[in-house]
Amino acid sequence: MSVLWYLIPLSLLLGAGGLASFFWALRSGQYEDLSGAAERILLDDDDRPI
C-alpha cells in the first residue's frame, strides 16, 4: 500500500492545481461573457484574448 503515500498527495496536488487555475480564470474575467466567447470563435479578425 506504499503507493498510496505518493499517489494521494499527487491527486490532491492535481486537484489543487485545478482549483488554482479556476481562481485565475475567474479573476482574469474569462467568465464575463460566455455567449460572446461562443460567437467570437467565428470572427476572422485579429481578436486579442483578454
Partner 1 sequence: MSAAAATRALPAEEILLASRAVADDLRQTDLSVPGIHCGGCIRRIEKGLGELPGVTHARVNLSTKRVSVVWRAGGGPPPLCETLSALGYEYHLQSFQEPAKDQTLSQLIRALAVAGFAAMNIMGLSVAIWSGAAGDTRDLFHGLSALIALPTLAYSGRVFFASAWSALKHRQTNMDVPISIGVLLAFGMSLYDTVHHATHAYFDASISLLFFLLIGRTLDHMMRERARNAVKGLGKLAAFGATVVTDDGTQIYTPVEDIAPGMTILLPAGGRVPVDAVVRDGRSDIDVSLATGESAPENVSAGRRLRAGTLNLTGPLTITAIAAAKDSFLAEMVRLMEAAEGGRSTYRRLADRAASLYAPVVHSAAFLSFVGWMIASGDVHQAVTVAVAVLIITCPCALGLAVPMVQVVAARRLFERGIMVKDGSAMERLTEIDTILFDKTGTLTMGRPVLQNPAAHDPASLSLAAAIAAHSNHPYSQALASAAPRAAIAFESVTEQAGLGLEAKTGDTVWRLGRGDWALRAGANAGDAGTVLSRDGQLVAAFTFDDAPRADAQAAMAALRDQSFALEMISGDRPGPVRRLAQTLGIAEAHATMLPAEKTAHIAALAAAGHKVLMVGDGLNDAPALVAAHVSMAPANAADIGRQAADFVFLHPSLQAVPSVITVARTAKMRIRQNFALAVLYNLIALPLAIAGLVTPLIAALAMSGSSILVVANALRPSGSPAHIRQPRAHAVDGDHLPAGVRAMG
Give the residues lining the site for partner 1 (CB under 8 A): 1, 4, 8, 11-12, 15-16, 18-19, 22-23, 26, 32-36, 39-40, 42-43, 45, 50
In what helix (H) or strand (E) does residue 12 lie, and over which residues does it extend? helix 3-27
Sign of CA dihedral 38, 25, 50, 32: positive
Is residue 47 within 8 Å of residue 40, measured between CB atoms?
Answer: yes
Taking the complex as a whole, how short is the minimal distance between the CB of residue 46 and partner 1, in angstroms? 11
Taking the complex as a whole, how short is the minimal distance between the CB of residue 40 and partner 1, in angstroms? 7
Taking the complex as a whole, how short is the minimal distance between the CB of residue 32 and partner 1, in angstroms? 6
Cell (9 digits) for 16: 489543487
